[in-house]
């Protein structure tokens, strides 16, 4: 286990430029999502507000179903992680990972900006509760996970071009460890989202 951890941290150290690129992409995607939300028309805003008000009402009256909410939240996150994992063991997965990562961060930026645009100062508080800590942790985990996946995809592509042999079983074992670690974190953040976030919203709304 210690050997795997050491190799994992070495991988992070040797891919610092890729991490810088991914964090820059994350920032730009959130920024674009926020900008897009500011350009929405009143009809679109009213539809979003109706959906939000429904969620707030159910939260305030404690009508949310935790088990159903957990499977919905965790299911969406694990589907994203598995898609990235599969792309990582393909030779052309890196560009698709960038697109998926951009879309996920774009959605977050759009949601935050929509909350602020609709509820103004209260929207700042709502967006903070929506984001912290589960969404922040998810984005950090996905950023590092995509770094590993892109690195593997690029390695496989270079091996194919240069006709080099790679110890695929050894690489996949380490890659599976990263996936399992990611899944554990996603379970924790899903629990935070379905228990902590509604609790904080109930405190604020009441």
- Reported as a single tens digit per residue, the pLDDT across 126-185 is 899 888 889 999 999 999 999 988 888 888 877 777 777 766 677 778 888 889 999 999
Nearest alpha carbon to residue 88 among 3, 171, 187: 171
Domain ranges across the chain:
2-205
Helix, strand, coil shares, percent, the chain, to 5: 90, 0, 10
Model confidence at 31: pLDDT above 90: yes
Q: Which of 33-42, 59-68, 123-132 has the lowest mean pLDDT?
A: 59-68
Q: What are phi and psi of 41, to 5 degrees?
A: -80, 170
Q: What is the DSSP letter of 167?
A: -
Model confidence at 12: pLDDT above 70: no
What is the H or E stretch that residue 206 is in? none
Please name the residue that has the structure tokens 């979003």. Answer: 48
**pTM, entire model:** 0.85
């Amino acid at each position: 286990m210690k050997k795997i951890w050491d190799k994992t941290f070495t991988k992070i150290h040797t891919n610092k430029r890729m991490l810088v690129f991914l964090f820059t992409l994350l920032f730009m995607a959130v920024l674009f999502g926020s900008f897009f939300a500011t350009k929405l028309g009143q009809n679109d805003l009213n539809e979003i507000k109706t959906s939000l008000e429904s969620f707030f009402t159910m939260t305030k009256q404690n009508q949310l179903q935790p088990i159903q909410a957990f499977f919905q939240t965790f299911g969406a996150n694990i589907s994203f992680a598995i898609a990235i994992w599969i792309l990582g063991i393909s030779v052309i997965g890196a560009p698709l990972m960038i697109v998926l990562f951009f879309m996920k961060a774009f959605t977050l930026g759009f949601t935050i900006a929509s909350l602020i645009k609709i509820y103004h100062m209260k929207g700042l508080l709502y967006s903070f509760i929506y984001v912290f800590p589960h969404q922040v942790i998810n984005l950090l985990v996905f950023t590092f996970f995509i770094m590993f996946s892109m690195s593997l995809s690029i390695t496989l592509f270079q091996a194919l071009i240069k006709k080099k042999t790679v110890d695929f079983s050894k690489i996949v074992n380490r890659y599976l460890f990263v996936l399992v670690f990611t899944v554990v974190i996603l379970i924790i953040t899903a629990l935070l989202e379905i228990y902590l976030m509604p609790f904080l919203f109930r405190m604020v709304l009441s």
